[in-house]
A and B are shown apart, each in its own frame.
Chain A
Amino acid sequence: MRIFIIGAGQVGTTIVQALHEEHDLTVFDLDPSRLEPLAHRYDVSTVEGNGASRKVLAEAGLAGADLLIACTSRDEANIVAAMISKAVSPRTTTVVRTTNPEYLEVWHEGQLDVDFIVSSEVETAHAISRSIGVPAARQTDVFADGQVQLVEFDVEAGSSDAILGVPLRDAKLPEDSKVASVIRGESMVLPRGDEVLRPGDRIVVIGSPAAAMAWSALIAPGKGKVTDVVIFGAGRAGTAIARLLLEQDIGVRLIEASRDRARFVAEELPRARVFHATGIEPDFLERERIGDAQVAIFAMRDDMKNHYAATLARVHGVGFTIAIVHEAQSVQVFERAGIDVSINPRAVTAEEIVRFAHDPRTQQVAMLEDDRYEVLDITTRVGSEYVGQTFRDMPINGALIGAIVRDGQAIFPRGDDVLRAGDRAIIFTESKRVPEVEQAL
């Protein structure tokens, strides 16, 4: 596929990283210093120029492009680029990144001529909401309208005896779920029945939402439903998170340092408790019992502020901390500081955008562990070699079918179930095997 990528910032770079092997990429940016490292590391063509210019796009051969991804940090430039593309080359699919949820709303109402819109804020909010909905999870994704969940857990020393030290085939695992992989250090294992889980393992589970909750209880016994979340920073990201959590009837407290912004958000979200405070005065934290919150989310614009506030909140006793990171290198710092989950909005956005570049049959893609593993959602072809085989007989060559969706119903296959043509298979695999798996099915 010929893909135009406009914007070579963090999002653009992540997308290039994910797509450069299989696709023919052209990257546009006004800043040559951002294009240079990309051109050195990957086999991509670069164009120094304005991606929202009709002339620049046309000269680069827009008519021959299958997909245009506009992912600069400027919403309006992205939208203009996509609209020019629609006018010049109607066959080119357009994907636009936006930081303003309002554009998403306008698009949903069909008033923006763009094929897909991805909002960093909304995607980030969903990512955070998922990791709160399943308390012990590091990362979760949903497939088939939420019927199938993919959850990543860190096995802890405190995890239930039902899963620790017992071979998987003998362990009492929640129904309708499968351990898709065990990541131990740098290696990934597709587990067989004799595999034994150990503290420190990171496991990927595919299963029903109920099973995901059950797993969560096994991994971290004693963590119940979340009802009290504190969000530091009521910017666009913080507000989007708050809105999503409130929709799930989770109590939200927002802490915002700007008086006007605090007032604005309080008007927008009547059910949230909004505080005008910096969030780092000990008096305030004490008085409002911030330490009692089950989850604290740090959504301020500055990574260092988030880092400091998160550490302080942990000192005050907050059990579970989630931070939004803006600089890729901050992730390590945050992990080292003991922050439970760090979410990079740009990575989340890139992940969301990359799914449009995959095989058209691929409905959704999740990327795990810095893009080394992927979860695919593929509809089985009629002529596939696997059709008619039972799952027990299927050779495991670096891929695992965690669930299938048949007639809109999710099925978690047992050994004697048979794969049929037209089934949507949720498959866990290594990134490098994606083309292979797509072909096989």
Chain B
Amino acid sequence: MKAPAGRARLVGRPRSLAVDVRGVAHLVGAMTKYLSLATLVPAAVALGASESPTPFLAAGAIAGGLGWLVERLTRGDHVLRAREGFLIVSLVWVVAAAVAALPYLLSGEPQLERPLDAYFEGMAGFTTTGGTVLTDIEALSHSLLIWRQLTQWLGGLGIIVLALAVFPRLRIGGRQLFESELPGPEIESLNVRIRDTARRLWILYVALTAVLIAVLWGYGLSGLDERMSGFEAVAHALTTIPTGGFSTNARSVEDYAAVTQWTFVLFMFLGGVNFALLYAAFIRRRPRQLVRDEEFRLYVGLLALGAIVLGAQLAAAGIHAGEAAVRHAVFQAVSIMTTTGYSSTDFAVWPTLAIMTLIGLMFVGGSAGSTSGSVKVVRHVLLGKILRRELDQTVHPEVVSPVRLNRRPVDERTLRAVSSFILLYIGIFIVGAALIAIDAARVGLDLRVLDAVGVAAAMIGNVGPSFGIAGPLGSLEPFSDVSTGIMIVLMWLGRLEVIPIVVLLTRHYWRST
């Protein structure tokens, strides 16, 4: 029987894609356009330091122009839903790293003249990883150094969160987009509008940075720390609060006075606390909320435990003594666990046991909703509770016991997401470590297995420096291009917490059938 002609027209052809790619491109283009404005900062610094602002202005013009072009070409009525969110977040970060890399390439800096190296440095910047391919950091111009620091500061709370806070008219809707970028599992449903949340987070972020600049500069002016100049105060404040770890010094923060290092400890610690809690404690003046929070308590507990274990190992090995032993143990525990990556001493030469402790801390991370990377303390809390419940249910299969966090029951979906996140994270880390080790063997690079493990953990955890040649005073420059590429992917995956990107690899993401 012949089908009626009208019916066929109504049914139509199958749509090949279930994702509005043009809409995604439109938004990513718009964000690139706005992000290019950030190049004005190093351009101004260049003028102040009598350096050439051209690479920054040119980079800004290229990025801004391309962004504008893409935005214009894809104009239309786009409705972006949760599904598009994954693609937007993933792409924004790929593009952001490219924007960061442009000035490096255009500046003619010999250490960064290869595009892959410049891109690595850009990704390490925005993902606040703090690893570098530079071998002589101090050879960079002031303006390039400040650009490097600034990328970490911009990436700390997230580019989309930044866009929401600064450009409220940008057509970004949807909580999911916001949450896929903000670290940690989504547990608390915030009652305020996400725009307001984004703005509050940024106010706190800017305030903390400003306070740290003032304090550090104060040390310099008052003579408490002779080494601290105004430039260095700003540069280091920009990478402490976002737990980034880039420094303008070859030896990181090693040469600063003890008081400066203790100050870094405090602000790295704050950078690893949930910003919503910090907001409640400092701005709403409800510090008890902080103390009552289960994640915060374990965060402090683990930091203390890490510091004590490290201190004992250092004392036993006779590497440091007295105040220095305490300071380096605390500093390194805080720096590594919050995934900052500053070093107060070359911890790559520490005994193996201490290095294993540091690798362990790399997998802890800071709190959810902080600027830190890695797994995050709250996921460890929940995983522990999930496992305890599993054991209970082995004996009592019928028991119904909701997992609680801060006394509130946690949704089963969130729990599944936590378990699968940790599995994916560990899985990708293992594959990454293996690939880096194999690649090192292929090109004849002298890399211990422990170092390969350290590099992979430091990259996916957005920590930065690790051990051996990749230690805090070393550089990732000796690694082959393949390894550099793997590291870039690890940083990207780690910063977006794996799932938004891995989702893109599934067939069901792209198709509706």
Q: Which A residues contact B (CB, under 8 angstroms)? A: 256, 259, 262-263, 266-267, 270, 273-277, 284, 287-288
Contact = CB atoms under 8 A, between A and B. Distances in A.
Given A266-B400, A276-B400, 13 more contacts: A256-B400, A259-B400, A263-B400, A263-B402, A274-B401, A275-B396, A275-B398, A275-B400, A276-B398, A277-B398, A284-B398, A288-B396, A288-B398
Contact of A267 (B396, B397, B399, B402): B402
A270 B404 contact: yes
Contacts of B396: 275, 287-288
A230 to B, nearest CB: 13
A304 B349 CA distance: 75
Nearest to A267: B409
B389 to A, nearest CB: 11
Contacts of B401: 266, 273-274
A270 B399 contact: no
14 contacts: A256-B400, A262-B400, A266-B400, A266-B401, A266-B402, A266-B409, A267-B402, A270-B407, A273-B399, A274-B399, A275-B396, A275-B400, A276-B398, A288-B398
Interchain residue pairs A-B with the least CB separation, the first 8? A275-B398, A267-B409, A277-B398, A262-B400, A274-B400, A266-B400, A267-B402, A276-B400
Nearest to B397: A287
**Dominant SS at the B interface?**
loop
B414 to A, nearest CB: 14
A256 B407 CA distance: 22
Contacts of B398: 275-277, 284, 288
Contacts of B399: 273-276
Interface string B270-307: 00000000000000000000000000000000000000
Interface string B110-137: 0000000000000000000000000000
Nearest to B399: A275
Nearest to A281: B398
A284 B401 CA distance: 17
Nearest to A277: B398
Nearest to A268: B409
Interface string B378-412: 00000000000000000011111110100101000
B394 to A, nearest CB: 12
Interface of B: 396-402, 404, 407, 409
A267 B402 CA distance: 6
A270 B397 CA distance: 18
A194 to B, nearest CB: 56
Contacts, number: 31
A204 to B, nearest CB: 41
Contacts of B402: 263, 266-267
B189 to A, nearest CB: 16
Contacts of B407: 270
Nearest to B396: A288
Contacts of A259: 400
A287 B396 CA distance: 8
Contacts of B409: 266-267
Nearest to A265: B400
A253 B426 CA distance: 38
A199 B396 CA distance: 42
Contacts of A270: 404, 407
Contacts of A275: 396, 398-400
Contacts of A287: 396-397
A288 B397 CA distance: 10
Nearest to A275: B398
A263 B415 CA distance: 15
B203 to A, nearest CB: 35
A267 B400 CA distance: 9
Max chain A C-beta neighbours (<10 A), residue from B397, B400, B407:
B400
B447 to A, nearest CB: 50
A262 B401 CA distance: 9
Contacts of A276: 398-400
Contacts of A262: 400
A284 B398 CA distance: 8
A259 B409 CA distance: 16
A177 B187 CA distance: 56
A367 B212 CA distance: 74
A262 B398 CA distance: 10
A277 B396 CA distance: 11
A210 to B, nearest CB: 36
Nearest to A234: B400
B266 to A, nearest CB: 36
A276 B399 CA distance: 6
B41 to A, nearest CB: 49
B431 to A, nearest CB: 37
A287 B404 CA distance: 26
A206 B197 CA distance: 62
Nearest to A256: B400
B452 to A, nearest CB: 45
A275 B398 CA distance: 5
A259 B401 CA distance: 12
A284 B400 CA distance: 14
Contacts of B397: 287
A259 B412 CA distance: 13
A263 B400 CA distance: 6
Nearest to B407: A270
A184 B288 CA distance: 62
B476 to A, nearest CB: 48
Contacts of B404: 270
B393 to A, nearest CB: 11
B395 to A, nearest CB: 8
A270 to B, nearest CB: 7
Contacts of B400: 256, 259, 262-263, 266, 274-276
Nearest to B401: A266
Nearest to B395: A287
A380 B399 CA distance: 55
Contacts of A273: 399, 401
A148 to B, nearest CB: 38
Nearest to A278: B398
A266 B496 CA distance: 34
A270 B402 CA distance: 8
Nearest to B412: A263
Contacts of A256: 400
A127 B350 CA distance: 69
A362 to B, nearest CB: 43
B437 to A, nearest CB: 46
A275 B404 CA distance: 17
Nearest to A261: B400
A289 to B, nearest CB: 10
B410 to A, nearest CB: 10
A227 B29 CA distance: 66
A250 B402 CA distance: 21
B397 to A, nearest CB: 8
A266 B402 CA distance: 7
Contacts of A263: 400, 402
A263 B409 CA distance: 10
A293 B246 CA distance: 63
A275 B409 CA distance: 17
A412 B445 CA distance: 94
A266 B398 CA distance: 12
A288 B396 CA distance: 7
A287 B397 CA distance: 9
A154 to B, nearest CB: 35
B316 to A, nearest CB: 43
B386 to A, nearest CB: 15
B427 to A, nearest CB: 30
A274 B400 CA distance: 5
A254 to B, nearest CB: 9
A2 B493 CA distance: 77
A276 B401 CA distance: 10
A276 B400 CA distance: 6
B187 to A, nearest CB: 15
Contacts of A267: 402, 409
B445 to A, nearest CB: 54
A409 to B, nearest CB: 40
